[in-house]
Amino acid sequence: MSAEYLNRLYRDALSGDLTAQTALFDYLSARFRLFVRHRVWNSVDAEDVVQEALVTICREYKTLEITTSFAAWAYKVLDFRVLAYVRSRKNIETRTVEGADGLDGLPAPAVDSDLQHRLLACLQRICGLNRRYGRALTLHAQGYDTTEICRRIEIKENTFYSLLHRGRAMLQHCLETGEIK
Amino acid sequence: MSECSRKDLAELIHAYELGLLSDEKRAEVEMHLLECDDCFGSAQKTAEASRLLKFHPETRDQVRALRIEHSSVAEPIGRRGISWRWAVPSLVTVAVLLVLVLKDWRVDIRPRETVVAAENRVIVLPFNDLVQPVDSCRFGSIIAGLLVTSLSESHNLSVVSSQYVSDLLAQQHISPSGQSADASTTMAIARHAGAQWMVTGTVTQLRPELTINAELVEVATGTVKLAVQGKGAGDSALFTAGDRLAARIKTALLPSAPASGIRDRAIAEITTGSPEACQEYMRGIDLWQRMYIDEAGPHFRRAIALDSTFAMPYYYLSMLAVGAERLALNRLAMKFIDRAGTRDGYLIRSRSAFLDGNLDEGIRILSAFVTRYPDDKQPLLQLARVEYTLGRYDSALSHLQTAIFLDSSYAEAYNLLAYTFDRMGDFDDALRASDRYVALAPNDANPYDSRAQLYALNGRPDKAIEAYRQALAIKPDFFSSLAYLGIMYIFNRNYSEAESCFVALAGSLAPSSEASSRLYLAYIPAYAGKFEKALTLLKQYEAQDSVAQAISSLSFKRHFEAICLEADGRPVEAVTAMERCLAAGPTDIGDSYRRKTYLIHLLVKVGEIEKARRLTSELKHVLDSSGVSQAPYWCALGALAAADGQVDSSVYWYSRAAEMGDQFYDRLMAGRAYLRVGKLADAVSTFELLLSRYTSPRMFWCPESVKLHYYLGQAYERSNWNDRALRQYELFLDIWKNADSGIAERDDALQRVQRLQQQP
């Protein structure tokens, strides 16, 4: 699929094709969910952000004349929602008085312990084979950014991305099959 | 599904998933994911795993702890078996040395995955002081500390050490008094420590009767097994109340314990009878555990002033002292060892054995400590320090692994681990351990100071300066960082900054800081080749040391004076200065051996061979009888062999000494010997290694440190690496561009540069 496909769905939806509209929002919600969950740890909050963005798009896409790319516009809407969320979290974190609704004290999201176990087991094995990938991951876990990691393992940024790409392919295979390729 | 047409963006997906892209690149990748089914499908498959890697603290902790196997890369010369710390001519580092000793730390970082509550393992948390909520006296902590000491006497209980409790509180950002800890946090701490039982309590009344309420809680269920009140009146109220509480807790936990026939010793019998002394001691311990050892000293001294029979303050003070004072303080700790608990008794006796040179006995005592208290990480760290000091890094690593297994957040262990990795030639893992140390104690200066030293030892002075500055931002008067930052500035030839560091150092709380500062100030002109000025300063400073009775410092200054005199072409005067240095008074035994070696070198240089032989025989005799390393003797033999024209023997003895202990002087002499006999590859590698290390011993030998460029230049020139040689000569001449006139090496280097520049 491509931007053209998305723009076609958008045009069909504009013209009143409900099937196209449903397909359009299904398409967006799956991707938006992925994007937001990479930026927001709390799953409930992440879903809220996605829904808010979709509601905004649903409300406004028929009223706006989008001359360039519907995908780019929709993505921008989502990006603004995420930024708004991040800003609101910062405000909460800087508050000295506990939230009246007590929601700030909600327990951290539950994790899939089986996935966690498999992930660590795979990483342990992959790191034995691909030490630089392991080193990059441990540095990432220590909070280092790309520049610092590259400096520490003495590689260029593009090499670093390739390194991560190869490591990820091994990780994906291991998570799916339990084996190292 | 269509195949991705943007491989460049597909390659960024994992970096995107981990949050390692700039906002701009992230948006580009997300726009691509919005349009590309292939990449989107792939990203979905790893989405949850990536989220764990990016967000989940526990997963990130475990990733940090992943063991990355290391290939057996050939080890650089001299990285194994070093003990540069001990070569630090230190007054220079009376305290620095100690910091280093204390900082002693490979991680197979495998934090204990499942903490299982050990049977009858008890944790005592600081009591809440309801009478003085601010608790400036730290009364609640003192009571907890006393209970730990008393309960630890029981063979049937395993009591979590006060240090571990303090570490756990610090990790939770709770003050050492534990005042801000809520119930759920205290339970979490108890579980983390693997305790079956937790003792908490409150101080409810101070007068007329001290009243303390304590609860014994089963950690797994939260059930209160015992609620008890301890009371005491008068001067000994604290100890009486503590004894009563301890007795009730022991009875509750060990109702059917067989009577040993030995009366439980009262708390006052195994600590101090003075509440004030106890308070001072606890304050000292708190500072000590955070590596602010110089600040801890005054508290220990006040504790002794209040109770001269209190053993443990003597023990800690002996670690702060040098030379005869150290031995005297340790003897006092031994004298009053009956006034220490079993746990502390092991510490005192092992240290005493080490100071007597009886290493095997010291290790045996520490091993017994581990057997008696298998869950106590402290003796493991002590054992690791000993093994590290002896250059047995694998053993040190093993002890550290066990300590970290017991407490995956043991900051001090990570500190030593970083140094151990570095000695094993694994700088990457050293930095990893150092990072962990920083993460565990981000508000302490010492983690940054340690990291700076790692950088300095691995040829990165600029990074070292940066890290020292971070340490000083946290604690502006941190002795070690101020001293070493000044030294780094000298290496960078930023003499004004160096001077300001040393001036600031004079005001630090460390013992003899003024005297140390004066020695460091003399380094500045000496490093620039202005020996006359350095010697003038030294004369003035030596007079001040004599008045201040700073004997140890005086010895170092006379030693440094001899080094400057030799560099200034006055070896006869250098001999006199060294003889005066050795006559100055008692200092560390190790230093006196080293000084004799240098004196022998000077005697050979002025032609007093027979005297040098006699001194060498005496040195051999002393080293044999004390059972310490023979490296100083081998170095002396190297000098004598050179005097006899036996150049190969000279190389043999010097290289043997250099490989033994990795002292700057030994390695320097080995390098010079290699150069003399034309072993150019060895000479190059030795000089390159020495130049890659920015250490305090290298600065102490600063004329030779600068001349390393000249020596390396010669080694390169004779190897026909003329461009490299030229570079080294130029560096050498640049450092000494304003040096005193008449320095032979400088004149020779000028001629060599001219000659090399004229060559096609």
Residue type, B647: V
For chain B, the structural domain boundaries read: 7-64, 121-255+263-270, 271-375
Q: Which two tokens mark A143? A: 């909070």
> Which of these ranges, A82-91, B274-283, B470-479, B635-644, has the smallest mean pLDDT?
A82-91
Q: Which chain B residues are closer than 8 Å to A123 by Cβ?
A: 63, 66
- At the topology level, CATH places domain B121-255+263-270 in Rossmann fold (3.40.50)
Structure confidence at residue B673 as a pLDDT band (50, 70, 90):
very high
Question: Looking at the complex, does the CB of residue B224 fall below 8 Å from at least one CB of chain A?
Answer: no
Max mean pLDDT range (A104-108, B108-112, B129-133, B453-457): B453-457
Task: Say whether B49 and A161 touch across the interface (CB within 8 A).
Answer: no
Residue type, B639: A
Chain B touched by A6 (CB under 8 Å): yes
A45 pLDDT higher than 90: no
Model confidence band, residue B93 (pLDDT cutoffs 50, 70, 90): very low
Distance CA B585, CA B592 (A): 10
Select the residue of B14, B54, B69 nearest A167 (Cβ to Cβ). Answer: B14
Interface contact flag, B64 A142, Cβ < 8 Å: yes
pLDDT at residue A166, as a whole number? 86
Higher local confidence (pLDDT), B487 or B261: B487
Contacts of B736 (CB under 8 A, 6+ apart): B528, B529, B706, B743, B746
- Strands B121-124, B197-205: pairing is parallel
**What is the rounded CA–CA span in Å between residue B160 and residue B707?**
54
Measure the CA–CA gap between B696 and B630, rounded to whole angstroms.
Answer: 23
pLDDT tens per residue, range A127-165: 777 777 888 887 888 778 888 888 877 788 888 888 888
**CB-based contact A162 B11, cutoff 8 Å:** yes
Q: Does residue B45 sit at the A interface (CB-CB below 8 Å)?
A: yes
Residue A101's pLDDT is what?
Answer: 39
Name which of B564, B630, B556, B550 is nearest B591 in CA terms: B556
Q: Which residues of A touch B428 (CB under 8 A)?
A: 135, 152
- Supply the pLDDT for residue B462: 93
Give the chain A residue whose CA is nearest to the CA of B20.
Answer: A146
Q: Which two tokens mark B349?
A: 């006796």
> In this complex, is the C-beta atom of B16 within 8 Å of any C-beta atom belonging to chain A?
yes
Could you tell me which chain A residue has the CA closest to the CA of B62?
A: A120
A111/B439 touch (CB, cutoff 8 Å), yes or no: no
- Is the pLDDT at B755 greater than 90, yes or no? yes
Task: Calculate mean pLDDT across residues B260-266.
Answer: 62
Contacts of A129 in chain B (CB under 8 A): none
pLDDT for position B530: 95
CA torsion angle for A172, A177, A180, B5 (degrees, to 10)?
Answer: -40
User: Cβ–Cβ of A162/B31 closer than 8 Å?
Assistant: no
B41 lies within 8 A of chain A by CB:
no
Mean pLDDT of all residues in B40-46: 88
Please state, in angstroms and as integers, the Cα–Cα distance from residue B311 to each residue in B47, B154, B160, B356, B372, following that order: 59, 20, 21, 18, 21
Q: Which residue in B has a C-alpha nearest to residue A166's C-alpha? A: B11
Structure tokens at B595: 């000084």
Query: Hey, is the C-beta of B55 within 8 angstroms of any chain A C-beta?
Result: yes
CA separation for the pair B100, A59 (Å, rounded) = 66
CB contact under 8 A, B34 and A138: no
Map tokens 């380094």 to a residue.
B523
Domains observed in chain A: 3-94 (1.10.1740.10), 113-177 (1.10.10)
Q: Mean pLDDT, to the nearest integer, of B602-622? A: 93
B118: tokens are: 């050990």
Q: What pLDDT, on the 0 to 100 scale, is given for residue B747? A: 93
Q: List Cα–Cα distances, B487 to B82, B102, B499, B523, B529, in angstroms.
A: 20, 21, 9, 9, 16
Q: What's the pLDDT score for residue B90?
A: 31
At residue A126, φ and ψ (nearest 5 deg) are -65, -40
- Tokens representing B451 are 């990291």
Residue B14 forms contact with A (CB below 8 Å): yes
Topology of B7-64 in CATH? Arc Repressor Mutant, subunit A (1.10.10)
What letter would DSSP give residue A143?
T
Report DSSP state, residue B114. Answer: S
Position B180 confidence tier, pLDDT thresholds 50, 70, 90:
low
CA atoms within 13 A on the CB side of B256: 0
**Could you tell me which of B215, B212, B214 has the C-alpha nearest to residue B239?**
B212
Give the confidence band of B87 by pLDDT, cuts at 50, 70, 90: very low
Sequential DSSP letters for B145-200: HHHHHHHTT-TT-EE--HHHHHHHHHHTT--TT-TT--HHHHHHHHHHTT-SEEEE
A-proximal residues of B, 378-397, CB under 8 Å: none
Give CA–CA dist B636/B594, Å, rounded. Answer: 10
B44 and chain A: CB distance < 8 Å anywhere? yes
Q: B12 is written with which tokens?
A: 């960024």
Q: Would you state the CATH architecture of domain B271-375? A: Alpha Horseshoe (1.25)
Dist CA B450 CA B681 (whole Å): 32
Instruction: Report the b/e string of A85-101 with b at 16+ CB within 10 A.
Output: beeeeeeeeeeeeeeee
